[in-house]
Structure 1
């Protein structure tokens, strides 16, 4: 991967939302992301979730067909400059893995399912880069399956929340028959108020200077009020304008009758639910107006990707924050990181491991002891649980799953069936990274800065690893014993670990 992006190079993001899929292609111009092309399609993935939370075949076909059309526009974008993120619908879908596997046959990069708070962080990043700094902001984004609310200053979010209410999900729940009446609308508003009640006090205490809305529902509501003359002089969406919009909506008896100047046809069906959610947000948070921003998740994804190229990777900041939160020993972590990098350098070509694999190994090496904050017994399992279930800024659910498996298998016995589990999650690469981390941790059991013997790892083939230990191995009897034990563990994962030393008895 390049260390930086020069001007005129392209970035791209695909945002697989619960209502719409979006593609954005942009050039980097003096550190800013300038959009040059975009596509958007109403896929309504969330509407394709059946009563068992499985995506129907029809919904999957809609999504796959859309992605195939997007790929046709990506020929000029290098794969390492593309990110593909999926949100609430795939977070909820029990058979989401099936869709992801089918999509992998179309897409040049894997889909990243991002957690709700990570979605919120990226939305804030997209909004904050498209607006002049205006003090503390409250950002609201009503999507198809969830609604994100973020308070932040400049480019840094302070509070991030993702609530289970969205215009597609609420349409299915409260307007499924297409009827529009006061009763249905009030039910939707009450449900949204309940979702908001858990964060209202925290958010109102934190406060904000401006309120910003993004994405389709708020864009549509704001545009209607502008066209109807219900906005303020700066064309902002006001509480009074939203009240007039609600009253006008309730005069329609059915979704098919909804007709507002400027409303797109594909937005009509989900507009009543979207207005109900926005109405509840204004009510519970006591808002008077909001401004609209064109920045959204896909812009945030591209700015986050740009940061990775410019050595401002939020994932590394998150790793350091986790180490601090769980009081991980930074000196031991650095020893293991250094050893892991040395081992990786010797085998990366043979095992086809790239820079991203190296980054994953390095981050796991930093985090391998965070489970000690819970208990020494089985701390590798505690650490794995924390990594699997925490909200970690910058990481997709797949990233966290990979980290979790690396930490879970860095010590103690390896079972043959666990190799199959690891391979299912991350293929042979994750299997090999797990073994590299084990060796790096083992070689630093002394927790000392004293010189280790010179060690080189080489690969004959994927099943034959050779560790060369220079000097008299009798100087390190505990290391010798540990390596003997590790040979047995490697065999459980079908790897022969051969150890070569002047006086090492294999």
Structure 2
């Protein structure tokens, strides 16, 4: 009721509605802290108007079965409810909220995500590590000029570390490693105890995990190394206040901090000016990971950026709002890489789009569903790069495993399901991995894609099938211009078989032949 009242008040105030139309927000459900940032957009320029940060320690709230404890769940939902009060006036599509490493690792998060979205008032995506790295680089790149074009960007979060090498605004190498300030502190400095043995073991373990990528990153090279987010910023602040470094973290400063931690013996006895109380419990783990990055990659000094994932999310959101969606670029790149017949895919996509437009609301919200349908149509033959037999299964596998920039885990799963179901037996259980509210809309999108693919099976480059679709629940009525089906007997036969296949899944397809 409160959100509905807020929207009513906004619509009654034209000035407030106009202000809201230029507002965007990003929410980062990190493994240590939750962050919210609100900005006013002026073209591609962003002016930050509000920030909120709360320590949630989500990574510390996973039990031995990798499930969120009730206490961690409550902390998270309480924080999101407070964020939601600030964001309740923003319209759909102007808030992007993402979960990172801990929610990637956690089991049974479906119910939590439903409650979390209700508390926040906006959808929440869980993103892959590579996508997190891309967004971090985009955020940090805003801070950098052009005089040092090649950049190494490092971000140590609560549960993972992202490392990116890029040229100007374009990331080239992106990796997410399961190394975080919370998890590393839990593993090597349990109870807050620190000694020389545990300190060196923590660094050695981090170096072992970084070893598979160290050679490639060193070979790529960079003009400047930049650190982002809380752990690296905390190290820089401590080093600066101790007089061990100025604006950048240095190898010497890291060694001095390590010696101070070991000498104290326990985190509660550490006397380092600039170390905040909320950062203190996880400071040893984050510092050890940073020391390992310096040793593994040969870093001598690392500057620190105030921007990170949140700012990258805002930039990406602006791109989507302005129809510069990196997901479309990813789909085009995948189609080119696997040799998809572009002209044929575009014809299928056009017909699928027309079918969707004829039954508004039947197969999902018009803000997102048509794009997923379009992208699936453009990739529906990607599996042919492996083999014709079962190519829809090969396509599903490729899309599930591919690094598709811009896509969340759920979006990539939807795309894979659409490719799997675009031909063959219509197995509704394939959608079982999706959140429950998405299953029926995705199955209906798959039906539209099946019909579009079937209508273009002859691969005729001339014209578009004159098809007309009506729906009523699980009943579909398909009709054509007079004489068209008679002129296309093979298509008619395919449609009759399709009616039988859909009937076995509980859908009724009626083909009207004028």
TM-score with structure 2 setting the length: 0.93
Checking the alignment, whether the CA contact within 8 Å between 2:20 and 2:90 is kept in structure 1 is no
Checking the alignment, whether the CA contact within 8 Å between 1:145 and 1:165 is kept in structure 2 is yes
Match of 1:15 in 2: 28
Checking the alignment, whether the CA contact within 8 Å between 1:423 and 1:431 is kept in structure 2 is no
Give the Cα separation in 1 of the matches to 2:415 and 2:480: 29
Checking the alignment, whether the CA contact within 8 Å between 1:402 and 1:426 is kept in structure 2 is no
User: Which residue of the other structure, out of 196, 208, 223, is the alignment partner of 1:209?
Assistant: 223
Where 1:265 maps in the other structure, the secondary structure is coil
Q: CA, structure 1 residues 389+351, in 2 after alignment: closer, same or farther (shift >3 Å)?
A: closer
Q: CA, structure 1 residues 421+253, in 2 after alignment: closer, same or farther (shift >3 Å)?
A: closer
User: Which residue of the other structure, out of 91, 96, 99, is the alignment partner of 1:86?
Assistant: 99
Shift of residue 46 of structure 1? 0.7
Give the Cα separation in 2 of the matches to 1:277 and 1:420: 38
1:316 aligns with 2:328: yes
User: Which residue of the other structure, out of 382, 391, 397, is the alignment partner of 2:409?
Assistant: 397
Match of 2:473 in 1: 462
Match of 1:103 in 2: 116
Shift of residue 172 of structure 1? 1.2
Where 2:244 maps in the other structure, the secondary structure is coil
Give the Cα separation in 2 of the matches to 1:293 and 1:286: 20
Match of 1:275 in 2: 287
Checking the alignment, whether the CA contact within 8 Å between 1:145 and 1:168 is kept in structure 2 is yes
Q: How many residues align?
A: 495
Shift of residue 480 of structure 1? 0.5
1:307 aligns with 2:319: yes
User: Which residue of the other structure, out of 457, 477, 484, is the alignment partner of 2:496?
Assistant: 484
Shift of residue 376 of structure 1? 1.2
Checking the alignment, whether the CA contact within 8 Å between 1:130 and 1:295 is kept in structure 2 is yes
Give the Cα separation in 2 of the matches to 1:355 and 1:366: 18
Shift of residue 419 of structure 1? 6.4
Checking the alignment, whether the CA contact within 8 Å between 2:96 and 2:317 is kept in structure 1 is yes
Shift of residue 394 of structure 1? 0.1
- Please show how residues 236-385 of structure 1 align to structure 2 within 5 Å: 236-351=248-363, 353-385=365-397
Could you give the per-residue CA deviations for residues 422-442 of structure 1, whole angstroms, max 9, x where no partner exists? Answer: 683723211210100000100
1:180 aligns with 2:180: no
Match of 1:73 in 2: 86
Give the Cα separation in 2 of the matches to 1:423 and 1:97: 6
Contiguous gaps of at least 5 residues in structure 1: none
Shift of residue 309 of structure 1? 1.4
Could you give the per-residue CA deviations for residues 21-52 of structure 1, whole angstroms, max 9, x where no partner exists? Answer: 10010111341122110111111111111222
Match of 1:38 in 2: 51
Aligned Cα RMSD in Å?
1.7
Q: CA, structure 1 residues 387+349, in 2 after alignment: closer, same or farther (shift >3 Å)?
A: same
User: Which residue of the other structure, out of 220, 228, 232, is the alignment partner of 1:218?
Assistant: 232
Checking the alignment, whether the CA contact within 8 Å between 1:53 and 1:92 is kept in structure 2 is yes
Checking the alignment, whether the CA contact within 8 Å between 2:431 and 2:442 is kept in structure 1 is no
Shift of residue 244 of structure 1? 1.4
Shift of residue 261 of structure 1? 1.4
User: Which residue of the other structure, out of 191, 207, 214, is the alignment partner of 1:193?
Assistant: 207
Give the Cα separation in 2 of the matches to 1:6 and 1:313: 24
Which structure shows the bigger proportion of residues in helix conformation? 2
TM-score with structure 1 setting the length: 0.94
Checking the alignment, whether the CA contact within 8 Å between 1:415 and 1:492 is kept in structure 2 is no
Shift of residue 102 of structure 1? 2.2
Where 2:389 maps in the other structure, the secondary structure is coil
